Structure 1
Amino acid sequence: MNSISVIIIAKNEAENIVDCIMSAKQVSKDIIVAESGSQDNTQALVIKAGARLLQTDWKGYGQTRNEAAAIAVNNWVLALDADERVTPKLAAAITNLSLEDNSILYGFKRSNFLATKKLRFGEWGKDKVYRLYNKHNAAWDLLLVHENIIGSGIHKKLLPGGLLHYTMKDLAEYRAKTILYARLSAEKYADQGRKATLLKRFISPTFSFVQNYIVRLGFLDGKAGYITACTDSKYIFLKYKFLHELLQQRK
């Protein structure tokens, strides 16, 4: 087994955290869960599963990941969300890495599920993430949402295998996450000085649906493909709606 640490961010993830930790044990003996104010038994489950618990105030996704990476035993770090699972194929690929080049940022495909339905087409069907990095050569940016790993001179390499992402157990959770991420994205855009033009507010959502459902064949995922295309379109509408409201408040 390579010298890799795994960091996981979690809040109220009692349903997910044990399975996530167990999948992470395929690649690491040093697993850190950064937990921020859970009201369920996430903390107890983390300890029982044999991971290290880092209790911290929520400072955003990127900063929380950086805090967890700072106490990792190893220089190479794999970052996971609590609703993700490392597949055996990805675990084998990671275990066989030489990890001699600190400038490489490793990525892999991610299979997304709406409840139990795997999304094979549309925007969600072509997902990949870059999560394995050397913490002395790269770190997470401090954006409120949709954070990325940044560093000097890093280059990307895609590994075989992937993650399973059980991000949406039902429609209620999916819609709640959509609203949350739309608000966070609006705050990020406002801080970046971006504008909520009429084109962005009313044309972009329609374009998103057509691109997702028709051009990228989301309709082949059946009802789940239609739901995700509609919800992603609504996310874009809400993002610019919230941005417009924020900009009006800041005038």
Structure 2
Amino acid sequence: MQKISALLITYNEEKNIKRFLEDSAYADEIIIVDSNSTDKTVELAKDHPKVKIFKRDFVNFTDQKNFAISQASHEWISFFDADEHIPDDLKCEIINTINNPKYQAYYVSRKFFFKNKRIYYSGMQNDKAIRVFRKSKCIYKSNRLVHELIECDGEVGKLTHKLDHYTYSSAEEYRRKLTSYSKLRAKELYERNLKPNFFHFRIKPFYRFINHYIIRLGILDGKEGYMISKLHAESVHKRYVFLNEIYQENSSQLIN
């Protein structure tokens, strides 16, 4: 039987950590890299017999996840998020797959829940991410600070069963998360020397709303679809506001 390491990065995940630990019973070890949580995340996890906890300052998602990978003892890794629930049929499929693998990594499709309501459209209908992979063949791309992507040296397959993605219990919680993503994305764009203009401030946010609400059928998800589309449009606008602020701050530093 192949052994597997279950990895997780955390910051104030006390409401999700017990479920994650229960879901990760299939793993031979559980690696948690915590970004100095101020709630009971570490306290709730530290006595679990399979858990190894590393406290580490957060730089960006890619950096934190690659550090977690480096701490894994086993070749096969599962890397889920704390707000994702792993159903039993998916757990069985993971174990069966790594004991007879055809690929070096595997996508897992996600059922998206917003405010405890299943969202079928709004751009979420094809949502998937690599969640199971070989340590020796995969790493997160260093040029992505947010919405991190796995770079795999080999072919990538897809598991049949889906996970449940319980995102946010309120619009304000979702807005805060998207705002943190916008700040990291702005840093990425600054490194690429992109300078924002009218197109970025006005056209791109408008298109993002249309894309989620009309093109990707968010209108069929009711008021939640409208809310999700609006919040994503806001996050695009904030991305370029933050990018412009970076340029202004660096410009003032040069003057001084």
TM-score range, shorter chain: over 0.9
Matched, 1:202 2:202: yes
SS at match of 1:168: coil
Within 2, Cα distance between the matches of 1:79 and 1:119?
23
Structure 1 position 141, deviation (Å): 2.2
Write 1 or 2 for the structure with the bigger share of strand: 1
Separation in 2, partners of 1:236, 1:18 = 33
Residue number in structure 1 paired with 2:147: 146
Q: Measure how far apart 1:80 and its partner are.
A: 1.5
Deviations 1:195-250 (A, max 9, x none): 32311220111111111111111111111111101001111111122112222333
Checking the alignment, whether the CA contact within 8 Å between 2:103 and 2:157 is kept in structure 1 is no
**Aligned residue type for 1:162:** K
Counterpart amino acid of 2:191? D
- C-alpha distance in structure 1 between counterparts of 2:47 and 2:162, whole Å: 26
- Asked if 2 retains the 8 angstrom alpha-carbon contact of 1:196 and 1:240, the reply is yes
Paired residue type of 2:237: F
The one-character-per-residue Cα deviations of 1:173-210 (angstroms, maximum 9, x if unpaired) are 11111211111111111112223231122011111111
CA 1:33/1:161 → structure 2, altered by over 3 Å: closer, same or farther? same
Check if 1:6 corresponds to 2:6: yes
Q: CA contact under 8 A between 1:103 and 1:134: conserved in structure 2?
A: no
Distance 2:209 2:238 in 1: 14
Aligned residues: 249
Larger CA deviation: 58-67 vs 15-24: 58-67
Worse-matched range after superposition: 196-205 or 240-249: 240-249
8 Å CA contact 2:5–2:73 kept in 1: the answer is: yes
- Structure 2 stretches of 5 or more lacking a match? 252-256
1:17 aligns with 2:13: no
Structure 2: distance between partners of 1:228 and 1:72: 35
- CA distance in 2 between counterparts of 1:222 and 1:29 reads 42
Instruction: Flag as ranges the 4+ runs of structure 1 deviating above 4 A.
Output: 98-103
In the alignment, the residues of structure 1 paired with residue 67 and residue 111 of structure 2 have an alpha-carbon distance, to the nearest angstrom, of 27
Q: Distance between the aligned counterparts of 2:175 and 2:201, measured in 1?
A: 19
Residue of structure 2 equivalent to 1:93: 93
The residue identity in structure 1 corresponding to 2:204 is S
Whether the aligned pair in 2 keeps the contact of 1:35 and 1:53 (CA below 8 Å) is yes
Q: Counterparts of 2:234 and 2:146 in 1: how far apart (Å)? A: 17
Q: How does 1:138-177 map to 2 (within 5 A)?
A: 138-142=138-142, 143-152=144-153, 154-177=154-177
Task: Return the alpha-carbon distance in structure 1 between the equivalents of residues 60 and 218 of structure 2.
Answer: 31
Query: AA paired with 1:84?
Result: E
Summarize deviations over 1:48-95 as a string: whole Å, max 9, x none.
344221222223212222222222121111112111111222212211
Query: Aligned residue for 1:127?
Result: 127
Q: CA deviation at 1:98?
A: 4.3
Verify the 8 A CA contact 1:102 1:137 in the aligned structure 2. Answer: no
Question: Residue 112 of structure 2 corresponds to which residue in structure 1?
Answer: 112
Q: Contact 1:2–1:96 at 8 Å: present in 2 too? A: no
Alignment-mate amino acid for residue 191 of structure 1: E
Q: 1:100, CA displacement in angstroms?
A: 6.0
Give the letter for the 2:146 counterpart.
Answer: V
1:39 and 2:35 correspond: no
Is 1:235 the counterpart of 2:226? The answer is no
Identity rate, percent:
29
| TM-score, normalised via structure 1 length | 0.92
Match of 2:193 in 1: 193
Alpha-carbon distance in 2 for matches of 1:236, 1:224: 19
Give the deviation of 1:19 after TM superposition: 0.4
Say yes or no: does 1:216 pair with 2:216: yes
